[in-house]
Structure 1
């Protein structure tokens, strides 16, 4: 069986980072359902999960079409008061019978779609991880992007926080596929597909997998979603910091102008780097692989040191200019 999802990450369209209460207001997307708030290790506010009904095909790599029916779960989060994420995910199970049932059957299983047809899990995983979708196929990215757009519209309408944005960034997408019961192999694979799309593939050994139609525990699914959202958050942070540093023109533009372009990163991004804070043991496994191969934290630390070096040089230069120089051969005046 498979658990698949997509996470969209972007900066919240607010002038300044929002308070926890205001973030809760923006994420109150389902009346009567609570907004979840966490303050450790950073501010993290999550909307209630909304089921979205789907009934559409997925084309495997061999060209065989598999139909999936059920409900995808959609949610949004605001991290650090400034970073907005939209997430859509679903557990894919093999249908007990090769016939579509009534909606009451699927609504009783939120976050689960059943595959009708001869589904081959490796090929179906490749299809979900693929770079594009036809118009009629299951598109989790569209569902994740829709909730991001909804929250951004709410933020734009809120006059309390209107004003010019100090931090601008591009949206990134993380598409992830967890193969439960896959053959032993590389458990964590991460790839950058394009300027905005990343793909994360996870595998669980066969001996620890549940029966194909039994599913996994809700706790396991939640941990997988949490760690994938965490990876998406830190990939966005790193991508945004790389872009800001490049546009600062260090060594090309006057130093004061470069520093002006770096200040939003100092104010809003540097303190948010906390990889592995969510997801438990699954997070430890995923981040160990990402740090070993991708060097996320090494690249982040290098960029942070470069920014701080610019601040240090600017401070030393300002101090040197503030101290008057003594003419050659003249001793400084002292009051004996």
Structure 2
């Protein structure tokens, strides 16, 4: 995990991502997306139109001085800044992310704030960092009063959802998801690996990674955002399809099927592009999820089912006309 130009190497990198459907009837175009994500006047929004419309806000910094979460109960005070940003995909799916990096050790006493500000997104422990317990503590959620990057991501999401560009009329029902992640250094000479991807309750997912020490933090965060986006897409479409009562006879004209599935086709199905914005060095970490549980296999099966249902609804009136009378 490549450190900033100043400062010691990174021993632990952690973050949390919120993913949700933008509450607007129409997707934002590229100019509106730039206006929507203009969080700072001194930095421009990053925009890209290939392979999908993508907009990324500048980073914002939140100063913190509090204990780090640790699974073994250790109380390790840390001081520094947490970096947060937002991403809008195809003007439709909004993600807010917060992350921090921590070195293996820090000073015994707190430094002046100016020394923390020159290393944005870095949180220094006072003393040694118990990185394994802290990684587990971040993924488990920690205790009240511990550093919680999820609260920072959530605060940014709340701020953006109040933007005047949004009419608060989403085209379909959905629920946001949360993805917590922790990346530790890989053994010397080893490549990156995805040690664990967990689906927990309350829309929570956790990811634990091992990466070479020279891997840029932005690339690791980008991989996790890609996982969070596609997990949200899959979860949302699964729930949309599961909410339809097929073959019950209660919807003879097919209107409820069209109302439920139509928005998914219009707004979500074309967004499935795993690894499209993941660097080649980390793209292979998608492989375990494609093998088991098989993200893309499940997605393709859902897409085929949706299209089959829409095709059946399209020919339904003609089929009913030729049905013999009982």
Q: TM-score, normalised by structure 2?
A: 0.89
| Equivalent residue for 2:83, pick from 73, 90, 103 | 73
Q: Say which one has the larger Rg.
A: 1
Distance in 2 (alpha carbons) for counterparts of 1:311 and 1:96: 59
Equivalence for 1:256 = 255
SS for the counterpart of 1:307 is helix
Matched, 1:56 2:47: no
**Map 1:163-202 → 2, pairs under 5 A:** 164-181=169-186, 187-188=193-194, 189-202=196-209
* Contact 1:3–1:180 under 8 Å retained in 2: no
What does the per-residue CA deviation read over 1:50-69, in whole Å, with 9 as the maximum and x for residues that have no partner? Answer: 11111110242222111111
* Contact 2:107–2:127 under 8 Å retained in 1: no
Could you tell me how far 1:90 is from its partner in structure 2? 1.0
**Map 1:86-165 → 2, pairs under 5 A:** 86-130=96-140, 132-154=141-163, 157-158=164-165, 162=167, 164-165=169-170
SS for the counterpart of 1:199 is strand
Q: CA RMSD in A?
A: 2.2
In structure 2, runs of 5+ residues without a counterpart are 1-10
Superposition misfits of 4+ residues, deviation over 6 angstroms: 183-186
Instruction: Tell me how many residue pairs correspond in the alignment.
Output: 310
**Map 1:236-247 → 2, pairs under 5 A:** 236-247=232-243
* Contact 2:186–2:192 under 8 Å retained in 1: no
> Structure 1 residues 56-65 or 266-275, which shifts more?
56-65
Specify whether residues 269 and 62 from structure 1 end up closer, same or farther in structure 2 by C-alpha distance, changes over 3 A only.
Answer: same
What does the per-residue CA deviation read over 1:153-182, in whole Å, with 9 as the maximum and x for residues that have no partner? Answer: 00xx33xx6374322211100001010145
What does the per-residue CA deviation read over 1:120-161, in whole Å, with 9 as the maximum and x for residues that have no partner? Answer: 22112111111x33331100000011111111100xx33xx6
Q: TM-score, normalised by structure 1?
A: 0.86
Could you tell me how far 1:29 is from its partner in structure 2? 0.9
* Contact 1:177–1:201 under 8 Å retained in 2: yes
In structure 1, runs of 5+ residues without a counterpart are 210-215, 327-336
> Structure 1 residues 145-154 or 274-283, which shifts more?
274-283
Equivalence for 1:288 = 287
What does the per-residue CA deviation read over 1:179-216, in whole Å, with 9 as the maximum and x for residues that have no partner? Answer: 01458799211001113100011013xxx43xxxxxx5
What does the per-residue CA deviation read over 1:206-244, in whole Å, with 9 as the maximum and x for residues that have no partner? Answer: xx43xxxxxx56xx1111111111110101101110111
Equivalence for 1:33 = 43
* Contact 1:55–1:67 under 8 Å retained in 2: yes
Equivalence for 2:223 = 227
Specify whether residues 70 and 182 from structure 1 end up closer, same or farther in structure 2 by C-alpha distance, changes over 3 A only.
Answer: farther
Q: Give the structure with the larger helix fraction.
A: 1
* Contact 1:94–1:116 under 8 Å retained in 2: no
